[in-house]
Structure 1
Amino acid sequence: MTSYDTVWTHFTNKCKIDDLEIPNSDAAIYDTIQNALLKFNIHLDENVSGDNSTELLSRDLDGNELLLIIHCIRLIILENQVIYFSSTYAPFTKELGVRNLGTQMNRLETLVENEKKEIQDILMKMMDDFL
C-alpha cells in the first residue's frame, strides 16, 4: 500500500509551491491528503481511502495515479491561496495600499487553471494507456 510519506515526498519534490503555503503539521498534511483523495476518487471513479493512524492508502498507486494525486494536492493548495488572497486583501486594498491586486489575483487564477489543465492531461494520458 502507498504511504502518506510517499505521496507527500513526491508532492514536495514534483510540485513546487512556496514553503509557507505548504501544510507543515501532521493534522494539516492528513487533511490535505484526504481532500486530494476526494478529488482523485471523483476523477477516476475510485474509492481509495487513507488511514491517518497507519498513514497508508487503501491500495498501492501506480505512477500515473501518484502523479494525479500530487497534482490534486497542488490544486487544493492553489485554490486555497486564491480564496485566502481574495477574501483577505480584496476588501481592504485601498486601506492597505495594496497595488496590483488584479495582477496578483490573475496570476493565482492562472496557476489554478494551469493545474486543472495538467490534471486533465494526466487523465487523458491514463485513458490512452488504458485503451
Structure 2
Amino acid sequence: MKTSYDLLWSTFLAKCKVDDLDLPNSEEAIYDTIQNAVLAFNNKLEDDLLADNTTELLNRELSGDELLLLSHCIRIIILENQLIYFSASFSPFTKEIGARNLGNQMNRLEYLIDREDDKIHSIIVKMTDDFI
C-alpha cells in the first residue's frame, strides 16, 4: 500500500500545525508544497521517494518516522516561505512599521525555522539509531 497525500497532509496538520492563513490554499499549492517536501526529504535521507500528483500517492508506504519527517519538511518549507514573504513585503516599510517590530517578527520566524531544523535532525538521528 502506498502513502496517500491525504494521510500525509492530515499528519502534517495534526503534528506540525501552522497558522491557517499560511497554509497553501489551493490544490496546486498543496501539490507544490508536497513536491518540495519530498525533495527535501530525499536530500536529507539520500532517498528516492516520489510523489505523483495525478494519483495523489507517494511511491511507497512510509513508516511512521518517515511520515513524521516528511510532515516536518512541509512545515519548514512553509516557515521559510513565510520568512521570505515577510522580509520582501515589509522590509520596505521598516520606518512605518518600526525596525524593532520588524526585527522581532523576523527573529521569531528564524527561531521557528531553527527549531524545526533541529526537530528534523532529531527525527533523522532517531531513525538512524532505530536502523542500527
Q: Which TM class, normalised by the smaller chain length? A: over 0.9
User: Which one has the bigger helix percentage?
Assistant: 2
Instruction: Describe how 1:31-110 pairs up with structure 2 within 5 A.
Output: 31-94=32-95, 97-99=96-98, 100-110=101-111
CA distance in 1, matches of 2:36, 2:131: 26
Q: Deviations over 1:46-72 (max 9, x none)?
A: 111011010000000000000000000
Amino acid at match of 1:98: I
SS of residue paired to 2:72 = helix
Amino acid at match of 2:127: M
Instruction: Describe how 1:13-28 pairs up with structure 2 within 5 A.
Output: 13-28=14-29
CA distance in 2, matches of 1:87, 1:53: 33
Number of equivalent positions: 129
Amino acid at match of 1:14: K
Q: 5+ unaligned residues in a row in structure 2: which ranges?
A: none
C-alpha root-mean-square deviation of aligned residues, in Å? Answer: 0.7
What percent identity do the matched residue pairs reach? 60
SS of residue paired to 1:59 = coil
SS of residue paired to 1:20 = helix
